[in-house]
Amino acid sequence: MIDCAQYRIGNSKLLRFLRDNNHNNLELQLIRFWSRHPRAKLSLCAIACALDIAKINLRDAIKSLVIKGILQEQSNGSGLITYSLSEKAEIQECIEELTKLDWREIKILERQLEGEAILV
């Protein structure tokens, strides 16, 4: 049986966006991090500390999100590279939709991304 939350999330622009961009679990964790801090500009070290994840594990996921246009990479004059959320309207809309989900809806989204809760 599918409840209203499953149906709403299953038919959401956010789910289509995440599926279209083939996000793995670490990328989804980073996207959720940016949904809580949408205006942040952070270095790889700061992100790793905030998420309590080794920098080596984050590097590929962040690069993937940059390539997909979800994150932006900036370099200052001293060589410090920071990352921020893309300013593209589509990205901003999906991140805003993600911020509106409660814990239960996040779990439904994760199951749908894993293919456990398929709507027909």
In tens, the pLDDT along 9-60 reads 555 677 778 777 766 778 888 988 998 999 999 999 999 999 998 888 899 9
Q: Looking at residues 97-103, what average pLDDT do you find?
A: 84
What is the rounded distance in angstroms from the CA atom of residue 48 to the CA atom of residue 19?
25
Tell me: pLDDT of 1 over 50.
no
Q: Percentage of the chain surpassing pLDDT 70?
A: 84
Q: Looking at residues 50-74, what average pLDDT do you find?
A: 91
Query: What are the contacts of 109-118 at 24+ separation with CB within 8 A?
Result: 109/9, 109/14, 109/15, 109/18, 110/28, 112/6, 112/9, 112/10, 112/15, 113/15, 113/18, 113/19, 113/23, 113/28, 117/2, 117/6, 117/10
Domain spans, the chain: 4-114
Q: Looking at residues 60-84, what average pLDDT do you find?
A: 92
Class of domain 4-114: mainly alpha
Average pLDDT of every residue of the chain: 82
pTM of structure: 0.77
